[in-house]
Amino acid sequence: MAGVVVNGTQVSYIGQDCKEIPEFLGRQYGCIAKRLDLSFNLLRSLEGLEMFSGLEELILDNNLFGNDLRLPRLPHLHTLMLNKNQLTELESLLDHLAEVVPSLEYLSLLGNVACPNELVCKDKDEGDYQRYRYFVLHKLTNLKFLDSRKVSRSEHKEAILRGAFMKVVKPMDAKISTDGASMSPQPHYTPLPSGSRDLTNHRGVLGKCRYVYYGKHSEGNRFIRDDQL
């Protein structure tokens, strides 16, 4: 079939813009494939992957997988690449992987929002990324390699001690009403008076002050109102 590259037990179907795994792939190569590369497609679901029960490596980079990603049980899978997809939440994915791919040792999630790598997310730093690693290792205890870095012995120890507390919780942008409908976001709180929030107003806040201090130590009341000028 056009687009398929087979080399022994390695099967590649790259850059074909397919939105689902073609049926012929599983039918013809499911029983022999040890490594399957489906990179650079438009996949959102892995329906049909159950035909590849003997898979050891699965490459899914540059697709459209989101937080609803589900894999069939693949007991021999040790390598999973999910770089540059649309994953924004970690915990449900990691719990799912722990259940269906118990032999997983190599995982890469670079290029996803769920992976706070400072090279991809400018507002993240090495501390954010390290906490992410501890949380992943807490969930997937057999990992030997995460993203572009080998897992160290000290990371494993730290993940056991603190990994459960490293989950990143994103604040909601909008409140949800009791009937499930989305409500308007709350305005950003600021203690400054409204006059100071207008960056185009060069007079500033002090020029609009209407209060006069008549205290005992006012030193002649140095704060003068606008209408007294």
Domain presence at residue 31: yes
| Residue type at position 131 | R
Domain encompassing residue 27: 5-165
Residue 139 CB coordination number (10 Å): 20
Please count the structural domains in the chain. Answer: 1
Task: Tell me the C-alpha distance between 186 and 182, whole Å.
Answer: 12
Domain presence at residue 226: no
Residue 78's pLDDT is: 98
Task: Tell me the C-alpha distance between 149 and 119, whole Å.
Answer: 14
Domain presence at residue 213: no
Domain presence at residue 102: yes
The string of pLDDT tens digits covering residues 114-171 is 998 765 666 666 788 989 999 999 999 999 999 989 999 998 888 787 655 556 544 4
The string of pLDDT tens digits covering residues 201-216 is 444 444 444 444 445 5
The string of pLDDT tens digits covering residues 164-202 is 555 654 444 434 444 444 444 444 444 444 444 444 444
CA neighbours closer than 13 Å in the CB half-sphere of residue 169: 4
Close Cβ partners of 51 (under 8 Å, ≥ 6 residues apart): 25, 26, 27, 30, 31
- HEC string of 147-200 equals CCEECCHHHHHHHHHHHHHCCCCCCCCCCECCCCCECCCCCCCCCCCHHHHCCC
CA distances from 146 to 79, 83, 135, 172, 223 (A): 10, 11, 12, 28, 62
Domain presence at residue 186: no
Domain presence at residue 50: yes
The string of pLDDT tens digits covering residues 34-87 is 999 999 999 999 999 999 999 999 999 999 999 999 999 999 999 999 999 999
Start-to-end Cα distance in the chain: 87
Domain presence at residue 51: yes
pTM metric for this prediction: 0.71
Domain presence at residue 214: no
Q: What is the CATH number of the domain that holds 69?
A: 3.80.10.10
